[in-house]
C-alpha cells in the first residue's frame, strides 16, 4: 500500500458502522493433522536474523530463557525472523544441532506447560534462569480467544512477561496462538499440543471484547466492504472478533445466520490461493470485496513469506488492496494468513483442506 492512512480518518469513516459486543468463542469442528517440525542448524543458519528470548522482571532485569533436558543440560532458546515484515517469528530451542519447535502442551492443568519437542517425541522443559541460577517455570497462564499469555513465574508467584529482543533492543511479545477452537490444537511428534508459540509485534493496552469491521483499503484512502457470499449470491457480514484481554490475534469470521464461520486460505494449485468461509457441513462461502460501483473483487492469498500469507483484494485491472480489520475507534490490525507448520495442508476443517488460517495481527509498518 503506497498511501498512509491515519487512524483518525478511519475512525471518522467507520465509527457508525461497528457493533461492539462481548464475544464467546464460536464452536466449529476443526481437525488438524500431525505436524513435524525439526530443522537442522546448517551453514545457511548464519543468514537468519536471530533474536534473544528473555523474561522481563518488574525491575527491568532481563532473565535468560533456556531449554533443559532431563539431565539438566541447558540449551539456547531463540526467536527466528522468517518473513520480510517480522510480524510472526518462530520460537525454537537449539538442541544438539537442530531447531526444535516450542509449544504449549495440552494438559488439564490451569497453568499449561511450555516444552520443546524433538522428532522422537522427547520433550525439553522451558525455564527462565536468573543470575543466581534459580529456575523459573514458563507457563501458559491465561487464554483470551485465540491468544494464550505466556509468563515466567517467580518463586513469589509474580508473573514476568516473555519477549523476543533484537540486537538493536527492539522487542516483540511472545505468546501462544490457537488456530482452532478445540482444546487439542494438534499433535507434534506424538505430543498433544494446546497452542503454538510465536513472537508478535507489541501493542498498547489490552482490548475489550468487540466486533471489528473487515475492509479492503484503496490506495486513495477509501475503504471497501468485505463480505461472504453463498452460491445464490446472498451476502453475509465478515467481521473481526476481538476477545477481552488481548489485541494480538483477532479472529476473522463470516456471520451466517447464528453461526460464525471460520475463514481460511484453502489448499490450491492456483497461483492466487482461494479464501473461503467454511460451514460445519463443509459448505463453502466465497469471500469478496464490494467496490462502490458494485464490482466484486476477488480476495486471495497472493504471496507467502515465512509464516505469513499476504491477503489482497484484487481489482479487474489487477490492482491489489490490503485487507484490514478496523475498530470503532480507528485501531487497525492487518488481516493475514498465518501458517503454523511447513506442510502444504495446514489442517482439515469440516472436510476441507486448509493452507493457512486468516487472522488479524498487529501492524509493523
pLDDT band at 203 (very low <50, low <70, confident <90, very high): confident
Check: CB of residue 116 under 8 Å from CB of residue 98: no
Q: What is the pLDDT of residue 38?
A: 52
Least confident of 84-93, 230-239, 277-286: 84-93
- DSSP-assigned beta bridge partners for residue 45: none
Distance between CA atoms of residues 24 and 243, nearest Å: 8
Q: How far is CA 196 from its chain centroid?
A: 9
Cβ(117)–Cβ(104) under 8 Å?
Answer: no
pLDDT at 25: 40
- Determine contact, residues 354/267, Cβ cutoff 8 Å: yes
Alpha-carbon gap, residue 190 to 120, rounded angstroms: 8
The confidence band for 204, taking pLDDT boundaries of 50, 70 and 90, is low
CB atoms within 10 A of CB 51: 23
| Predicted TM-score of the model (pTM) | 0.76
pLDDT at 244: 81
Which of 361, 272, 295 has the alpha carbon at shortest distance from 324? Answer: 361
Q: Which three cell numbers mark 48?
A: 537468519
Cα-based distances in Å from 104 to 22, 148, 183, 259: 26, 9, 11, 29
- Give the model's confidence band at 19: pLDDT under 50 very low, under 70 low, under 90 confident, else very high: very low
Residues near 3 by Cβ (< 8 Å), separated by ≥ 6? Answer: 219, 220, 221
> In the structure, what pLDDT confidence band is assigned to residue 11 with cuts at 50, 70 and 90?
very low
Alpha helices in the chain (DSSP H): 7-14
- Across the range 322-345, mean pLDDT stands at 90
Q: How many CB atoms lie within 10 A of CB 351?
A: 10
pLDDT per residue over 285-325, tens digit each?
Answer: 999 999 888 899 999 999 999 899 999 999 988 999 999 99
**What pLDDT sits at residue 218?**
84
| DSSP β-bridge partners for residue 165 | 52, 171
| pLDDT for the residue 39 | 59
> Has residue 354 got a pLDDT over 80?
yes
In which residue are the cell numbers 494480538 written? 248
Model confidence over 64-78: pLDDT tens digits? Answer: 999 999 999 999 999
Question: What's phi and psi for 43, nearest 5 deg?
Answer: -60, -30
| Distance (Å, whole) CA 160 – CA 170 | 18
pLDDT for 139-196, tens place per residue? 999 999 999 999 999 999 999 999 999 988 888 999 999 998 899 999 999 999 999 9
Whether the per-residue pLDDT at 265 is higher than 80: the answer is: yes
Lowest model confidence (mean pLDDT) among 26-40, 87-101, 140-154: 26-40
Q: What is the CA radius of gyration of the chain?
A: 20
Measure the CA dihedral 176/343/69/48, to 10°. -80
Residue 220 CB contacts under 8 Å (≥ 6 apart), including other chains:
3
Stretch among 95-109, 249-263, 329-343 having the lowest mean pLDDT: 329-343
Annotated domain spans of the chain:
7-23+209-361, 39-201
Q: How large is the average pLDDT for residues 121-127?
A: 97
Longest Cα–Cα distance in the chain: 67
Q: What pLDDT is stored for residue 353 in this prediction?
A: 95
In this structure, are strands 62-68 and 284-290 parallel, antiparallel, or unpaired? unpaired
Q: What is the mean pLDDT of residues 94-103?
A: 94
Grade residue 47 by pLDDT with cuts at 50, 70 and 90.
Answer: low
Percent of the chain scored above 70 by pLDDT?
A: 85
Amino acid at each position: 500500500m503506497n498511501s498512509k492512512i491515519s487512524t483518525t480518518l478511519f475512525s471518522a469513516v467507520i465509527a457508525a458502522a461497528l457493533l461492539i459486543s462481548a464475544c464467546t468463542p464460536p464452536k466449529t469442528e476443526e481437525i488438524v493433522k500431525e505436524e513435524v517440525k525439526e530443522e537442522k542448524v546448517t551453514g545457511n543458519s548464519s543468514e537468519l536474523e536471530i533474536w534473544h528470548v528473555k523474561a522481563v522482571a518488574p525491575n527491568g532485569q532481563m532473565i535468560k530463557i533456556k531449554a533443559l533436558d532431563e539431565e539438566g543440560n541447558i540449551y539456547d532458546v531463540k526467536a527466528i525472523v522468517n518473513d520480510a515484515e517480522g510480524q510472526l517469528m518462530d520460537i525454537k530451542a537449539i538442541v544438539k544441532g537442530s531447531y526444535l519447535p516450542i509449544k504449549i502442551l495440552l494438559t488439564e492443568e490451569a497453568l499449561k506447560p511450555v516444552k520443546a519437542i524433538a522428532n522422537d517425541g522427547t520433550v525439553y522443559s522451558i525455564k527462565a534462569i536468573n543470575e543466581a541460577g534459580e529456575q523459573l517455570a514458563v507457563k501458559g497462564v491465561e487464554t483470551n480467544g485465540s491468544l494464550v499469555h505466556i509468563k515466567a513465574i517467580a518463586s513469589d508467584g509474580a508473573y514476568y512477561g516473555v519477549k523476543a529482543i533484537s540486537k538493536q533492543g527492539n522487542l516483540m511479545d511472545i505468546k501462544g496462538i490457537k488456530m482452532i477452537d478445540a482444546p487439542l490444537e494438534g499433535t507434534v511428534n506424538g505430543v498433544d499440543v494446546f497452542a503454538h508459540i510465536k513472537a508478535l509485534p507489541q501493542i498498547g493496552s489490552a482490548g475489550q471484547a468487540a466486533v471489528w469491521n473487515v475492509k479492503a483499503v484503496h490506495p486513495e484512502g477509501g475503504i471497501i466492504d468485505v463480505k461472504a457470499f453463498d452460491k445464490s449470491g446472498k451476502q453475509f457480514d465478515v467481521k473481526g472478533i476481538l476477545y477481552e484481554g488481548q489485541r494480538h490475534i483477532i479472529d476473522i469470521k463470516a456471520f451466517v445466520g447464528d453461526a460464525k464461520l471460520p475463514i481460511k486460505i484453502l489448499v490450491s494449485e492456483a497461483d492466487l490461493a482461494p479464501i473461503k468461509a467454511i460451514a460445519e457441513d463443509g459448505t463453502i462461502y466465497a469471500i469478496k470485496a464490494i467496490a462502490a460501483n458494485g464490482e466484486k473483487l476477488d480476495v486471495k492469498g497472493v504471496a507467502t513469506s515465512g509464516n505469513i500469507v499476504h491477503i489482497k483484494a484484487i481489482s479487474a485491472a489487477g490492482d491489489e488492496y490490503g485487507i484490514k480489520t478496523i475498530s470503532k475507534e480507528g485501531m487497525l490490525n492487518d488481516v493475514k494468513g498465518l501458517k503454523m507448520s511447513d506442510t502444504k495442508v495446514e489442517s482439515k476443517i469440516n472436510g476441507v483442506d486448509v493452507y493457512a488460517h486468516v487472522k488479524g495481527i498487529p501492524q509493523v509498518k
